[in-house]
Structure formats: structure tokens, C-alpha cells
Homo-oligomer: A and B are copies of this chain.
Amino acid sequence: MAVGRFKLCRLLLMNNRAVPWFILVPETDVTEICDLNLLAQAILYDEINTVSHFVQALDGVEKLNVAAIGNVVSQLHIHVVGRHAADFAWPGVVWGIEASERYTDEQFERVRQQAADGLGEDFRSA
């Protein structure tokens, strides 16, 4: 679900209401962060920081999980997931577990608005 975009990355929301789960998708053909040039890496890490601080501040978030995996979808993408000790997968990881609850249109719109308000001036809402 498209939330918006930064300078380098599009920002998506995973349709799993159990946890706040964002995905940054940099515009690139390389499949590993280490193969981005250093300028692109710097921009990517800055955008990951922005999303990380945003997710950290959401209600109930106790821990971040930040990961570049890409075994299934080769387009480079980075997960930023807000976790807490009572969530659907804790203390395990969220990947590979079926979504328990989807967003309604209204719930998604609320997240989109929260992101638009909280992600700073380099972010353009979808």
C-alpha cells in the first residue's frame, strides 16, 4: 500500500494491522545495499532513520526490526517494523507469518495521514 515517497525511496505499508510495518523501496537496480554507491547509501540510511524514529514513536512500539532480506522479491527493499512483546509474532520475526488483520480503507487513511504529518519535509504523501 503506497504511503508516499522520499528523495530516494518509495514508502509502502504492509497490509498487516498487527504491527506497524513499513517498507522503503529505493529506486535502483542493485539488489544489495552494499552495492549502492556511497551517496545513495547515505540517502537511504537517512530515510531509514526518519522512518525508524517515526515508527519508534508510535503507540506501543518497544523495539524496531530493520532488515533487508529480499529472498522472494529481488527489488531492493528495507523493512522497518515496530514490535512489542505481545504482538502476533514476538519474539520471533514477522517474515513468513500470515497477516492476521488487514487495514480497512479508513484505518489505512489514518496511517497515511500520520505519515504525512510525521515524516518531515523530504517526504511526499501518496
Query: Contact check: which of B31, B48, B91, B96 meets A93 at CB < 8 Å?
Result: B96
| Prevailing SS type, chain A contact patch | mixed
Q: Is the CB of A32 within 8 A of B56?
A: yes
Residues from chain B with Cβ under 8 Å of A32 in the complex: 52, 56, 63-64
Q: Is the CB of A63 within 8 A of B67?
A: no
Q: Is the CB of A49 within 8 A of B68?
A: no
Q: A92-B96, A93-B95, A96-B93 are in contact. Are A53 and B69 (CB under 8 A)?
A: no
Q: Could you show 22 A-B contacts with beta carbons less than 8 Å apart?
A: A32-B56, A33-B48, A33-B49, A33-B52, A34-B52, A41-B45, A45-B45, A63-B71, A64-B68, A65-B69, A65-B70, A66-B68, A67-B67, A67-B68, A67-B69, A69-B93, A71-B92, A72-B91, A92-B96, A93-B93, A93-B95, A93-B96
